[in-house]
Amino acid sequence: AERLFAMPGVLELLSRSNSTSQAFAEVLRLPKQQLRKLLYPLQEVERFLAPDRRQDLHLRIFDPSPEDIARADNVFTATKGNRIDYVSSAVRIDHAPDLPRPEVCFIGRSNVGKSSLIKALFSLAPEVEVRVSKKPGHTKKMNFFKVGKHFTVVDMPGYGYRAPEDFVDMVETYLKERRNLKRTFLLVDSVVGIQKTDNIAIEMCEEFALPYVIVLTKIDKSSKGHLLKQVLQIQKFVNTKTQGCFPQLFPVSSVTFSGIHLLRSFIASVTGNLD
């Protein structure tokens, strides 16, 4: 972020570059403060922390350059040569499509904002239909999306207070057996923090020694003070109670798009598309 703001020339260059998508070029024209909030929401939160508390927060373990962010946006942009499509759904792992590419999956409680987040990540591929089946009693499925020749995104069914056993079996088996799974993105509602049911998913990831990442959803809903409190609490939890969780949190809003570009870059990076 510092590089981004220290070199106004970089912004100018990026906005004119052919390799920068039209959408991202527009983003770069935003005023600095707005740009920082959009691209680096955690650094925005840090500004309200007392200096002696700042070392508690991991902010720059993943710190892509503006060029990387622009490249990742290109990966997520649907073109003739980069098709982004819904592939299929499955209720059992043995019905999952056989896709050789690296895979990332999204899990979280019902209502955490998972489908909104996946829609936001795929906003540069507007024809992708992010299916949602929320009717009670409706079979919950894993939905597979292909992002060009780069990777697969899997939308796992939301869990909840009354998650049926077959659902836990489905998620558990997927997490345990999917060989090409590179990262699990575990969504936590930033308004309410980690809930009991979230712990079930955290324990699953820990038990199978999976590399996972906590994404904090709906950050536009809280005041800065409340968000900061939740961020610090969850960061402390990650620092002291987890092994496999990536130390840096990823706050996002699917309404303001804050954090979405950074998350796209992280996905591109863990699937080997920013090398």
In the complex, the residues that contact ligand GDP under the rule CB under 6 A are 108, 110-116, 158, 217-218, 220-221, 253-255
* Residue 113 beta carbon to ligand GDP: minimum distance, rounded to whole angstroms: 3
> Shortest gap between Cβ of 254 and ligand GDP (angstroms)?
4
Integer Cα distance of 37 and 259 in angstroms: 8
Minimum Å distance from CB 242 to ligand GDP?
A: 22
Instruction: Name which of 148 and 250 has its Cβ closer to ligand GDP.
Output: 250
Return the number of the residue (66 or 158) whose C-beta is nearest ligand GDP.
158
**Which region, left, alpha or beta, applies to residue 132 given φ > 0 means left and ψ of -120 to 50 means alpha?**
beta
Name the residue nearer to ligand GDP (CB basis): 78 or 132.
132
Helix ranges (DSSP H) in 86-222:
114-121, 165-177, 196-207
Nearer to ligand GDP, 77 or 253 (CB): 253
Tokens 């770069």, residue located: 28
Contact 41, 259 (CB under 8 A): yes
Residue 114 CB, shortest distance to ligand GDP, in Å, is 3
Compute the distance between CA of residue 167 and CA of residue 139 in angstroms, rounded to an integer.
9
C-beta separation of 72 from 273 below 8 A: yes
